[in-house]
Structure 1
């Protein structure tokens, strides 16, 4: 159930107390304090101390990732950094030598999982104007990460989310049922139901051969890149998991799927991708299916995350936009 008003405010007050208390779990400079900078799946806090120290604290959402899943995320990030694939934030071990910590405060149960990351420099690429150059870089980065995922020997017990059609459409869908999202009216449901059936059929035919399906970032938007000079760094691996490689493009255009610039951004992403990894025409032909799959997942996400500002702002129009995208996509399948 979504939290609003006073309930949401109380939750953030508890999390603020938790963040300040948890800092003692790490060997930090005197005077370190945490300041909330983002509320999404988790809450993210900028930790600062006199003398210029900075780090980023992530307090995990309750009942979203297990400790093993968080450790698996950190293992892949470590491997990407060690193998010089891409620069990523590094976790800071706590006083007990472990990167994953747990902490609680009075009035907040059960304990929350926390990870503290080294602060990395850089600015987010502009999300206004011509985005093709940024998407070309995104495609190159995605291809490098996919090649690494194909060859990397995962640690025993590796556990991450799965981003397949069942994760979006089954009764146990990761982000809930899209039918429960705001403004999914009886008038919109038929086209969305048809889109779901068509997506599931196409993906069953497409299959999950290892050349197409593996470990992905699953949220590789421009907002999750940091640029400094000619260096591009990738952040926020919280959603990384197993899915189709081309889902990474669909995730890159999250929330802007109906923008007229999408065909140009797709072409740019593919150019960047093919500089590093071959992509057969059959795979390219299925990209729009993944765009539709991701959009349906985001519709469910909005419905199950109305305690956060971003989904609140998008909720009034997102269902109608999703239905319009579905109509256009279904019409393309008939041509």
Structure 2
């Protein structure tokens, strides 16, 4: 993300290429080379090449996000055991799923082949929706993989709103949206959600659609299933009719999602509230991971999030 041989550490300082190779040695696997991958809101990733054409993905998360990162690794491992290509973690020889480093928390993940969905392709978007619905179905009981604070009604969000410095008007707007979403809970179905289902997290197989995957589980949460749909709505907001095609695919796996859609606008606002909380936290920590490296980008992101919460 920040060049071919370095990436952001927990506070934005570079991690040298030799340091990455040294850290990867803990897995006791041969490595031929690495190259950075784009994308990722709260982490930095590299493609890791091993002999024989074998590939992995190395992911470095901020130390402050370690608990959520660990929960995502456990969920990805469960997804893999149940037949969903989710980028499951490769365990260290001692059984740990990640290594703690001065630069953050590093995991080595299985590489999931496939193409990223084309936002302009109704066919791709329907496949994306089907993968999301399948993930929700397969991980319905995975809540035990997550720490209590990440489970609905999200103690983590209340704590962040109390503790993270942010403009008062942003704090008030986020608190109001969170309260409204909690009040709607009795009308909605809960489950484990991906939390950040960007298009570049989906992998469409060149073969059977049963091999399609969803990677990047470091933002995983327990929440109303509608939250992931709202995330897709936000992330595809510049593509006309994209959400309609995604929902067409989702309904092939879970037709009951239509009963939740009356609350979609509220959960779109909740997605923006979550974005505001995360961006405010990055500003407070001086963290630049996942953005271009400019503090102004974080400030602009906070302004966008506030506008989104206002509808």
Question: TM class, shorter-chain normalised?
Answer: 0.7 to 0.9
Cα deviation for residue 171 of structure 1 reads: 4.8
Q: Answer yes or no: is the 8 Å Cα contact 1:216–1:248 preserved in 2.
A: yes
SS of 2:34's partner is: strand
Deviation per CA, 1:9-29: give whole Å up to 9, x if none.
995434544312112112222
Rounded Cα–Cα distance in structure 1 between residues aligned with 2:154 and 2:61? 25
Counting only pairs closer than 5 Å after superposition, residues 225-264 of structure 1 correspond to structure 2 as: 225-229=202-206, 230=209, 231-255=211-235, 257=237, 259=238, 261=240, 264=241
Q: TM-score, normalised by structure 1?
A: 0.72
Rounded Cα–Cα distance in structure 2 between residues aligned with 1:174 and 1:54? 42
Deviation per CA, 1:249-278: give whole Å up to 9, x if none.
122244554x362xx233223222222223
Of residues 126, 129, 144, the one that matches 1:139 is: 129
Counting only pairs closer than 5 Å after superposition, residues 111-190 of structure 1 correspond to structure 2 as: 112-127=104-119, 130-151=120-141, 154=144, 161-162=150-151, 164=153, 167-168=156-157, 170-173=158-161, 176=164, 179=167, 189=169
State which drifts further: 305-314 or 12-21.
305-314
Deviation per CA, 1:133-181: give whole Å up to 9, x if none.
33322322222222223345846x865734657644x35249945538x
Deviation per CA, 1:106-137: give whole Å up to 9, x if none.
xx6xxx4321112222221224xx25433322
Rounded Cα–Cα distance in structure 2 between residues aligned with 1:311 and 1:126? 27
Cα deviation for residue 217 of structure 1 reads: 0.8
Alignment match, 1:265: 242
Rounded Cα–Cα distance in structure 2 between residues aligned with 1:133 and 1:175? 44
Deviation per CA, 1:193-224: give whole Å up to 9, x if none.
77546524532431257x61221111112110
SS of 2:140's partner is: helix
Alignment match, 1:93: 91
Rounded Cα–Cα distance in structure 2 between residues aligned with 1:267 and 1:20? 44
Q: Answer yes or no: is the 8 Å Cα contact 1:73–1:237 preserved in 2.
A: yes
Assess, with a 3 A threshold, how the Cα gap between structure 1 residues 254 and 83 changes in structure 2: closer, same or farther: same
Q: TM-score, normalised by structure 2?
A: 0.76
Rounded Cα–Cα distance in structure 1 between residues aligned with 2:127 and 2:161? 31
Larger radius of gyration: 1
1:286 aligns with 2:263: yes
Rounded Cα–Cα distance in structure 1 between residues aligned with 2:185 and 2:125? 26
Alignment match, 2:64: 63
Cα deviation for residue 100 of structure 1 reads: 2.5
Q: Answer yes or no: is the 8 Å Cα contact 2:85–2:112 preserved in 1.
A: no
1:37 aligns with 2:37: yes
1:102 aligns with 2:106: no
Q: Answer yes or no: is the 8 Å Cα contact 1:57–1:117 preserved in 2.
A: yes
May I ask how many residue pairs the two structures share in their alignment? Answer: 293
1:19 aligns with 2:7: no
Of residues 204, 207, 219, the one that matches 2:185 is: 207
Deviation per CA, 1:14-67: give whole Å up to 9, x if none.
4544312112112222x534333346412212222455342211122112123x
Q: Answer yes or no: is the 8 Å Cα contact 1:165–1:293 preserved in 2.
A: no
State which drifts further: 194-203 or 50-59.
194-203
Rounded Cα–Cα distance in structure 1 between residues aligned with 2:162 and 2:252? 33
Rounded Cα–Cα distance in structure 2 between residues aligned with 1:122 and 1:12? 32
Rounded Cα–Cα distance in structure 1 between residues aligned with 2:178 and 2:298? 25
